Amino acid sequence: MDAQQLNRELDARLSSFGVVDRHIFLQLCDAHGYGAASSVGWVDAKLRVLQTRLRGGLGLELYMPSLKDTSPVTTQEEFTHWVSQNFPDASL
């Protein structure tokens, strides 16, 4: 399976289920921490998929490092806080 296919599948999963588990969270962190424009852009794109779901009235379940587990996120404010805490260079 190529990278584009994996990317489309991840987008579909995030859009359908709104879950960022530990595994996906660590992928986002790795890409964000790498710092290249393409990897940060990839993180931004995944966050926009989640934001679109949230704006559509559907909740999210996001990994919280402090809890070492996922937690429900139902408001834009909660989502923005999570993004700023974990991906400070991200652009929503």
7 within domain boundaries? yes
- Kindly state the DSSP code that residue 33 receives in the 8-state scheme: H
Residues above pLDDT 90, as percent of the chain:
78
**Mean pLDDT score, 50-64:** 98
pTM score of the predicted model:
0.93
72 within domain boundaries? yes
Q: Provide the number of structural domains found in the chain.
A: 1
- Residue 54 sits in which domain range? 3-86
52 within domain boundaries? yes
58 within domain boundaries? yes
Count CB neighbours of 54 within 10 A. Answer: 19
How many CA atoms does the CB half-sphere of 6 hold within 13 Å? 6
91 within domain boundaries? no
Count CB neighbours of 65 within 10 A. Answer: 12
**Mean pLDDT score, 81-86:** 97
92 within domain boundaries? no
17 within domain boundaries? yes
54 within domain boundaries? yes
All residues at 6 or more sequence positions from 74 whose CB lies less than 8 Å from its CB, including other chains: 54, 59, 60
